Amino acid sequence: MRDVFRRHGSRRNAVRRWTPGAALVASLAMAHVSPAFARPDVPDEIASKPNPAVLDGDEVRYYERQYRGKCARCHGADGSGGGEEAAAQAVPPANFTDAAFMASRSDGQFFYQILMGGGTRCAMPAFGPESDSGWSEEKIWHMVAFVRRFAATPAH
């Protein structure tokens, strides 16, 4: 923990910014050995933000179409990371059906990746308001909720 305090300057600062949720997410991410790792520059207040979006039935169909059109070529139509362009990526596209991987990331980390893209880590494009796709933040939060469904236990 001492390293954490040092990195944030003062003990008081560290306690305020290093919430238990962020600490849990960070330790899970470190335990994960996949080449994929969360963008290191996700601001704390985004990484720890709960997803404000809830998908209803019609929205699931809409986001499935968006996913197939914009994400499946790398992440695969089934979310397993095996899209036709996956092999051309410098690092493997995330596997959304891998429950351990999905548990290692917060909704806010996913939100930031979709907003900003892969940056210097991979060729994943940005989808945020400033990008060619021009998705609103609301739309991105909904896509995070959609992506979570690949590893969710099916409802009975």
Residues of the shown chain interacting with ligand HEC in the complex, contacts defined by CB under 6 A: 36, 38, 70-71, 73-75, 85, 89, 91, 93-94, 105, 109-110, 113-114, 118, 121-124, 127, 143, 147
Minimal distance, residue 43 CB to ligand HEC, in Å: 14
- Cα dist from 15 to 19, 53, 140, whole Å: 7, 28, 30
Minimal distance, residue 18 CB to ligand HEC, in Å: 19
State the DSSP code for 10.
Answer: S
Minimal distance, residue 34 CB to ligand HEC, in Å: 8
Which of 107-138 are b and which e, b meaning 16 or more Cβ less than 10 Å from the residue's Cβ? bbbbbbbbbbbbeebbebebbbeeeebebeee
Minimal distance, residue 110 CB to ligand HEC, in Å: 4
Name the residue nearer to ligand HEC (CB basis): 18 or 36. Answer: 36
Name the residue nearer to ligand HEC (CB basis): 22 or 38. Answer: 38
Name the residue nearer to ligand HEC (CB basis): 5 or 80. Answer: 80
Name the residue nearer to ligand HEC (CB basis): 5 or 62. Answer: 62
State the DSSP code for 155.
Answer: P
Residue 3: Cβ within 10 Å count: 7
Nearest C-alpha neighbor of 143 from the set 123, 116, 102, 114: 114
Minimal distance, residue 151 CB to ligand HEC, in Å: 12
Name the residue nearer to ligand HEC (CB basis): 51 or 89. Answer: 89
Amino acid at 79: G
